[in-house]
Amino acid sequence: MDYDRLSTRGKDQSQALGAHLLAAGTTPTRVVSGNMKRQRQTAQRLIEAAGWDTTAVVDPGWDEFDATDLLNAYPEEDPSAKTDSRAFQRLLEKASARWASNNHDADYLESFSAFTQRIDTALDDAVEGLGPGRDAVVVSSSGAIAWAAARLVNGGFPQWLALNRVTVNSGVTKIVTGSSGKTMVTFNDHGHLPRAWVTYR
């Protein structure tokens, strides 16, 4: 199964968000997307639904962490995780804690520190030189968005894990930047979605 593609529901969510942003009068100066296929597909559908005359800039810094890599390195297995989403979530969170401990960095393609540093850099790059009254729209994935949010509340792994757990597909996190730095004013807003369309991961 090709996980890195936009599902039918994902297409609906992207279009709903685009229509919402169009109605809100949002016209971004730039649109940035991670390099994963589903991220690029989301950005394209969002642009089309919002009617923006722009092309998304691809920044691999916004790519998601590799959950398969984390699970492959974790020394325990749970057969029920293959069919039970709650069991899978528990296993992933245990594997994430091992990853974030920085005691086993050699076991991973990307350490937790490297992951968080690239998200920090990608966020800085996304808002660089925007100027007053100008917006950037970034299309990414739950782990990356959760870290950007955790960083802005001076949090660490526990905050990242909690935020990652509840991030809704196509949810909107709004960040403002100014002379005092970056401030998160909303996290995971998904009021543009019908309840039946709310999905995670």
pLDDT at position 108:
98
The residue segments making up the domain with residue 94 are: 66-109
pTM of the model: 0.93
pLDDT at position 3:
63
Token representation of residue 160: 């990242």
Q: Which of 93, 109, 125 is the last residue of a domain?
A: 109
Based on the domain organization, do 60 and 128 belong to the same domain? yes
Helices (H), 128-193: 142-152, 157-166
Task: Tell me, rounded to whole angstroms, the distance of Cα 130 from its chain centroid.
Answer: 21
For the chain, 201 residues long, the average pLDDT of each consecutive 10-residue run is: 78 97 95 97 96 97 97 94 92 98 97 98 94 94 98 97 96 93 96 96 74
Based on the domain organization, do 60 and 144 belong to the same domain? yes
b/e 77-99 (16+ beta carbons within 10 angstroms → b): eeeebeeeeeebeebbebbbebb
Identify the bridge partners of residue 189 per DSSP, sorted by sequence position: 172
pLDDT at position 1:
45
